[in-house]
Amino acid sequence: MKRREFITLVGGAAVAWPLTAHAQRPLPVLGMIGDLSLWDHFRKGMRDLGYVEGQNVKFEFRTGEGELSRFAEAAKEFAAMPVDVIVANGSTATQAAQMATRTIAIVMIGIGDPVRAGFVASLARPGGNTTGNSILGPEVAPKRLQLLKEVIPSVARVALLWNPNNSSNAVLRSEIEGAMPALGMSLISVEASTVAELDTKLTSTLGEHPDALLVTGDPFHQLHVQKIIDFLSTNRIPGMFQIRENVLAGGLMSYGASLPDLFRRGATYVHKILQGTKPSDLPIEQPIKFNLVINLKTAKTLGLTVPLTLQAAADEVVE
C-alpha cells in the first residue's frame, strides 16, 4: 500500500483548552466509542506520540453494536467520569457524544460529511468542542459510480445499502442520487439499521433486480459486512465498497481512504488537545488520496472483465 496523504485545510493557533480533568488526576483518560476493530491503529498512533497506556494515559473503550441508544449510554458514562477527550468512530457515535456533552473535547474519526451532518460549523473552523477527520472528499460518490460503469457498462439500477440512523449516510444517499441521472442510473434505496432489517431488506432487494450494490462505511454495516459480502456472492451481485478490507474479504471493488490511517491520525488530534489546543481551532482533515482496490477473483466469479487500464490504475489488485 502506498502512504496515504492528508490535507489540513487551515492551520489553527494553539490556545489553552480547559480540560475537564482535575489537576490531581495522574493520567489523562480517553473515552473511545465505536464498533470497528481498528482501535489498535489509534493506540499505535498514541504510542508513536509518546503515550504509554498505564503510564501517561488511560483508555476506556465502549462499543454500541450500531445502536444509538447504546452509544448514548456510553457517552453519558464518559461525560460523568469525566474523561478528558471522547474519541468517536463514525457518525452515530459522534452524535451520541455531542448529545452527552458540549464541553468535553470530541475527536471524530472517519466521518462522512461532518458539516452537512451538522457536527461542525465548517471544515476550516469547526467551532464548539468537536473536531477530527472525514472519510470523504469532493466528488467521491460520483467517482464510485463511474468506476462501476467502467467494469459494468450496462449498469443502470444501483442499490445503496445505508443506515437511516447515520446522518452522514443520509447525506451520502443524496449525493449519490444526484449524480446518477448523468450516468444513466437510478437508485434503489435499501435502509437497514438492525440485523433483522439487514436480512429482510437485502432479500427484498432481489425483487428490484439491482445491477450492483453500493455499501457505505457505516460501522453497523461493517460489523456485519461478511454477511453482506456473502449475500452478494450467493446472488451474483457486484458490490462497490468504501473500505479496502471489504474487498480483501471478497467484495468486488473499493474506492476510499484508508481507515487505519484515519485512526492513526485521530491520535494527533488527541495529542494536540491534551497539549492545550482547542478543538474549535483544529480544522477537519479530509483525505486527498483515495485508493482503488479490485478483486479479480471476485470479478471472474461474477463473469466480469475488468479493463486492463483500470487494473493498471488500481492501487491494489487481489488475484
Is the pLDDT at 10 greater than 50? The verdict is no
DSSP codes of every residue in 50-101:
T--BTTTBEEEEE--TT-HHHHHHHHHHHHHTT-SEEEEESHHHHHHHHHH-
- 243, 266, 241: which is closest to 39 by C-alpha? 266
What are the residue ranges spanned by the domains of the chain? Answer: 6-135+258-287, 140-256+291-318
Structure confidence at residue 127 (pLDDT): 92
Q: Range with the lowest mean pLDDT among 136-140, 275-279, 286-290?
A: 136-140
C-alpha distances (whole Å) from 181 to each of 93, 216, 258, 280, 316 are 33, 20, 29, 38, 30
Is the pLDDT at 8 greater than 60? The verdict is no
CB atoms under 10 Å from CB of 203, counted, come to 11
Predicted confidence (pLDDT) per residue in 189-230, tens digit = 999 999 999 999 999 999 999 999 999 988 889 889 999 999
Structure confidence at residue 138 (pLDDT): 61
CATH classification (class only), 140-256+291-318: alpha beta
The whole-angstrom separation of Cα 286 and Cα 5 is 9
E strand or H helix at 296, and its extent?
helix 296-301
Cell 472517519 sits at which residue?
110
Q: Do domains 6-135+258-287 and 140-256+291-318 have the same CATH topology?
A: yes
Task: Lay out the sheet containing 253-256: strands in order across.
Answer: 186-191, 157-162, 212-215, 239-241, 253-256, 291-295, 316-318
Superfamily of domain 6-135+258-287: Response regulator (3.40.50.2300)
Q: Range with the lowest mean pLDDT among 58-62, 96-100, 202-206, 257-261?
A: 257-261
CB atoms under 10 Å from CB of 39, counted, come to 18
Whether the full predicted model's pTM is greater than 0.75, yes or no, is yes
Structure confidence at residue 14 (pLDDT): 38
Banded model confidence at residue 9, pLDDT cuts 50, 70, 90:
very low
Do the strands 6-8 and 285-287 form a parallel or antiparallel pair, or are they unpaired?
A: antiparallel
Structure confidence at residue 17 (pLDDT): 52
Is the pLDDT at 3 greater than 60? The verdict is no
